[in-house]
Amino acid sequence: MSDHHRHDDDHDHAGDHHHPHGNRPLTDPELRVKALEQVLAEKGLIDPIAVDELIDTYETKVGPHNGARVVAKAWTDRDYKQRLLSNGTAAIAELGYSGIQGEDMVVVENTDTVHNVLVCTLCSCYPWPTLGLPPAWYKAAPYRSRVISDPRGVLKEFGVKLDEDVEVRVWDSTAELRYMVLPQRPAGTERMSEEELAALVTRDSMIGVAKLAPPKR
């Protein structure tokens, strides 16, 4: 994978430990968007609540469901999984998911010995067709810088604690290339259908900042 932009966890864990999400100050572009939204709302041209609901839908429901179906199929179809890992773009397109921000896709697999996490250090490149809109914290400067310098620290803040012998690989998206994580299949799901498995997959697990827990019995 020499052509792919990867950062391994072999550097000093430096920098402050500012939490990458939560009640952070808005960036200048975000402030401008909020100001424009307020003006349009005051003129009665948009409904702020409807806008927020639409954004939430694409962030957490529509997009991630596509990626979840890709993951579930890879878990249940060995041949598809091989195609997905060798040519992510083509395999994802088999399920009908392609388009802007998803033209060139690489899928990286989490295993017992390797944990992958995604970032875009230059802006906020993100695979929209499979994961929907990027969450605010993914676009924020603290996450984009710290996940490179201190990936284990950032993952711990998200609740992901890894053993020291697990290698952390940070994949940096570019304008030409997007990544998606294939999370590990949770234990106790052997008899679940592909549809049931897809319901277990979360957006954050496909970014690499969450691990999937076994289903509740």
> Which is the catalytic residue, given 86, 98, 125, 145?
125
Residue 151's Cβ-side half-sphere holds a number of Cα atoms within 13 Å equal to 26
Which of helix, strand or coil describes residue 6?
A: strand
Q: What share of the chain is helix, strand, coil (3-state, %, to 5)?
A: 45, 10, 45
In which region does residue 132 sit, left (phi positive, over 0), alpha (psi from -120 to 50) or beta (all else)? left
Per residue in 130-158, pLDDT (tens digit) is 898 889 899 999 999 999 999 999 999 99
Please state the pTM of the whole predicted model: 0.74
Annotated catalytic residue 123: yes
Helix (H, G, I), strand (E, B) or coil at 120: coil
Annotated catalytic residue within 2, 98, 124, 149: 124
Residue 145 designated active-site = no
Residue 3's pLDDT is 47
Average pLDDT over residues 58-75: 84
Which of 2, 86, 98, 120 is labelled catalytic?
120
Cα separations (Å) of 138 from 10, 120, 198?
A: 22, 8, 23
pLDDT tens figures, 155-184: 999 999 999 999 999 999 987 899 999 999
What is the mean predicted confidence (pLDDT) over 46-59?
69
Q: Domains in the chain, start-ordered, CATH in brackets?
A: 26-207 (3.90.330.10)
* pLDDT tens per residue across span 182-216: 999 999 999 999 999 999 999 999 999 999 999 88
2 is catalytic: no
